[in-house]
Amino acid sequence: GAVVSQHPSRVICKSGTSVKIECRSLDFQATTMFWYRQFPKKSLMLMATSNEGSKATYEQGVEKDKFLINHASLTLSTLTVTSAHPEDSSFYICSATGTGDFGAQPQHFGDGTRLSIL
Amino acid sequence: AQKVTQAQTEISVVEKEDVTLDCVYETRDTTYYLFWYKQPPSGELVFLIRRNSFDEQNEISGRYSWNFQKSTSSFNFTITASQVVDSAVYFCALSEYGYGQNFVFGPGTRLSVLP
C-alpha cells in the first residue's frame, strides 16, 4: 500500500521549455503533497507543500512563478517548471501523506524525475 | 528550530560486517516523530521506520535495528551482516507534531557495502 507514482522519470529538453511533472497517490488519498529538489550527493530540499484545493506554500528562496504547483485532487499534484534553464536541472521528488496525526504520517515518495535542461 | 545531523558522510564496509549509522536531532517539541529512509542508486526513497517521541523501545526488523535514546537525542540505525544490496544513501528525518507534516531531513550517509 501507499504507492506514489511520479511521471516522467526523466526529461531532457531545451532551454526555455516548460516541463510538467505529475505526482499521483495510487491507493490512498493524499491530503498533503510535497515537492523536493535534490542536487547530486546532497539531501532533499523542500520546495513547497501543497494541500488539495488550496495554494501551495513555498519555502523561502523558491520562486513560485518559476515552479508552479497545482494540487487539483486528493490523488494528483503537478509541478511545472516554467521556462526551464540549465540551472533548473536537478532531481525532483514528490511525496504524499494521507490523513492522520499531524507529523506522524510517513511521507511516501515517488521515484523522482531527473530533469536535464540543455 | 528543528535540525537533523548525520555526522557520517560516507561509510564503507565489507559484506557481512555490522554497521551503525548515526542520527542526532534537535527539537524543542515534546511530541515529534523520527524516520529513516533508504535511497538506493536508482533514486527512489524507501520508507524504513517511524518512531514517535514517546516510544523509546528499540526495534528490530530482520537485519535492521534502531536505537532511540531521548537522553542523547539520537536515533541510530544498525544493519547486521550487511549485504551489497544495502548500499545506498540513508536519510534520517524529523517531523514535529502540529507543524503540517514538514520533514527535516539529515544530510544523509552514503553506505557502500563491498563484496
pLDDT in tens, A21-79: 999 999 888 888 999 999 988 999 999 998 887 889 999 999 999 999 998 888 999 99
Which residue is it, cell 531521548? Answer: B70
pLDDT of residue B55: 85
pLDDT above 70: residue A102: no
pLDDT above 70: residue A103: no
pLDDT of residue A27: 87
Q: Which of A43, A46, A110 is opposite residue B102, by nearest beta carbon? A: A46
C-alpha cell, A116: 536535464
C-alpha cell, A51: 494541500
What residues of chain B score a pLDDT lower than 70? 97-102
C-alpha cell, B51: 518512531
Interchain CB contacts (distance < 8 Å): A and B: 68
Chain B nearest-CA residue for A114: B43
Chain A positions touching B90 (Cβ under 8 A) are none
Query: Within 10 Å of residue A34's Cβ, how many Cβ atoms?
Result: 26
pLDDT of residue A100: 62
Going by the DSSP 8-state scheme, the letter that residue B80 receives in this structure is S
Interatomic CA distance for residues B43 and B81, integer angstroms: 24
Mean pLDDT, chain A, whole residue set: 90
Query: Within 10 Å of residue A10's Cβ, how many Cβ atoms?
Result: 10
* DSSP state letters, chain A: ---EEEE-SEEEE-TT--EEEEEEESSS--SEEEEEEE-TT--EEEEEEEETTSPPEEPTT--TTTEEEEEEETTEEEEEETT--GGG-EEEEEEEE-SSSTTTSPPEE---EEEEE-
The answer to whether the Cβ–Cβ distance between A103 and B50 falls below 8 Å is no
B72: part of which helix (H) or strand (E)?
none
pLDDT of residue B97: 66
pLDDT above 60: residue A101: no
Chain A positions touching B46 (Cβ under 8 A) are 109
pLDDT of residue B57: 84
Determine contact: A40 vs chain B, CB below 8 A: no
> Which residues of B touch chain A, with CB atoms under 8 Å apart?
31-33, 35, 37, 42-47, 50, 52, 91, 95-103, 105-108, 110
Interatomic CA distance for residues A111 and A8, integer angstroms: 9
Q: Predicted confidence band at A105 (pLDDT cuts at 50, 70, 90)?
A: confident
pLDDT of residue A115: 96
